[in-house]
Structure 1
Amino acid sequence: MRKLLLLPLALMLLTVVANAREPAGPVWKDTALERAQVLALLQTLNANLLSHSSATQTLQEWCDAHRMAAEPKIVAHRVLGEDKPLPTADRELLGIGPDEPVRYRRVRLACGDWVLSDADNWYVPSRLTPEMNEQLDRTDVPFGTVVKSLGFHRQTLSAGLLWSPLPNGWETDAQLPPPTGKPMAIAPHVLEHSAVLYRKDNQPFSLVVETYTANVLAFGPRPIKP
């Protein structure tokens, strides 16, 4: 009987967890000014990511500059139980043969309550230290933080906006969407980067695909002073 009474409570708790969402951030309005502000922010973040070797460090600076949490610190949350084999063509990018072991790691990088990016990472464990491999296996520490001592740099394969608040050609003759003043409909994912990471001896050791969420804009627009 006791088990029967506890079952509805357990189901209710599971429902609450399943429906849990990130808190709502400040709303960007569908106006010409705020569309331009959002585009400028996305282009700024895109440029910052392209000019730095560590996406983790770039997001840390973004989180801090925009005061996105009481403690503006990037934390990695590992997604366990997933495995994506590295495509054969991408093995050539890493300079490895068909039998070289490759590990897969997926994390979500968050600032406070906001998940800012989903990162898929394939890496060659033989090109890292045993301590690094153990830390990657057992902890949630961001990949860039773990391998920082390698003095690595990255070669971007692709980078760009997945969504834009303004249409292509907006700066010339494309028709702009009429402002509604309502909350702006922002796509769930706004940027995507893929890159190969190289040690300081120019040996590739990792392929990363980083998808950035609309939460990079969660701090909202700055108030316009009169």
Structure 2
Amino acid sequence: MRLRSICVASAALVNACIAAAVAEPLPFPDDFVGRLEALALMETLNAELLAGRSATLVLEKWCADHHMAAEPKIIARVATGDDAPPTKEQRERLGVGPDEKIAHRRVALTCGAHTLSEADNWYVPARLTAEMNLALQTSETPFGKVVQPLQPSRRTFSVETLWSPLPKGWESRTREELAPEHGGGPLDAPRGLIRHRAIVVGGDGRPISEVRETYTKEILDFDVPSAAR
């Protein structure tokens, strides 16, 4: 049985399941075609996230389109006891003073048995309704769905590719040069693939949160039909 990471509401267990998932290979062969497939999928998701108004909805569609769960629904597994106070720069980006409250929520966004993203969210409680604040404190509903009545959108200000299946300039090299030294097995990758940082704004244009999202290699954890290769 393949190892899966299902994180629960405990910082210690979240870290443990992340560590356990590090060694799990992707369901792509470690050859040129497999790496090219993985790269194309990473770039596709990255583009969809940049174009989307809600990362939660993009991930939910991704999960559904690739049949990754019987019920393609995103759940926010909340980690407790691991607070991260906002920096001065974050307060400036959110447009709040030094004494105004900013809450922090750390989650693993899962769909079925797949942890697709691990995210930190610094949000301004005063700019949300009482019902929204309660839901964020007591439920596993993703932030994007909780604040949907505010008609949120994203302003991404940082995108990092943490790992690429192919090296820079790969298009100018031969397949033989790109062949892995120990090819033939499944493609392996580090835990984090892509990291986004964004400001979430309401329909009135006011910032309501800043998010830092690391998209994991489990975004690629689905079967690719052999005919596609």
**Matched length:** 208
Does the CA contact (< 8 Å) of 1:193 and 1:211 recur in 2? yes
Does the CA contact (< 8 Å) of 2:25 and 2:188 recur in 1? no
**How is 1:64-213 mapped onto 2 (pairs within 5 angstroms)?**
64-173=64-173, 176-179=177-180, 180-213=183-216
Instruction: Give the secondary-structure state (helix, strand or coil) at the position aligned to 1:42.
Output: helix
Unaligned runs of 5+ in 1: 1-17
Q: What is residue 11 of structure 1 aligned with on the other side?
A: none
Distance verdict in 2 for CA 1:60–1:92, change over 3 Å: same
Does the CA contact (< 8 Å) of 2:122 and 2:210 recur in 1? yes
Comparing 133-142 and 174-183, the one that deviates more? 174-183
Asked which structure has the greater CA Rg, the reply is 1
Shift of 1:19: 7.5
Point out 4+ residue stretches in structure 1 off by more than 3 angstroms: 18-22, 173-176
TM-score w.r.t. structure 2 length? 0.85
Shift of 1:26: 6.3
Does the CA contact (< 8 Å) of 2:25 and 2:186 recur in 1? no
Unaligned runs of 5+ in 2: 1-15
Instruction: Give the secondary-structure state (helix, strand or coil) at the position aligned to 1:83.
Output: coil
Shift of 1:113: 0.7
Does the CA contact (< 8 Å) of 2:50 and 2:156 recur in 1? yes
Deviation sequence 1:117-143 (CA, Å, 0-9, x none): 101000000011111111111111100
Q: What is residue 217 of structure 1 aligned with on the other side?
A: 220
Distance verdict in 2 for CA 1:225–1:148, change over 3 Å: closer
Instruction: Give the secondary-structure state (helix, strand or coil) at the position aligned to 1:84.
Output: coil
Q: Percent identity?
A: 45
Shift of 1:159: 1.4
Does the CA contact (< 8 Å) of 2:25 and 2:189 recur in 1? no
Instruction: Give the secondary-structure state (helix, strand or coil) at the position aligned to 1:224.
Output: helix
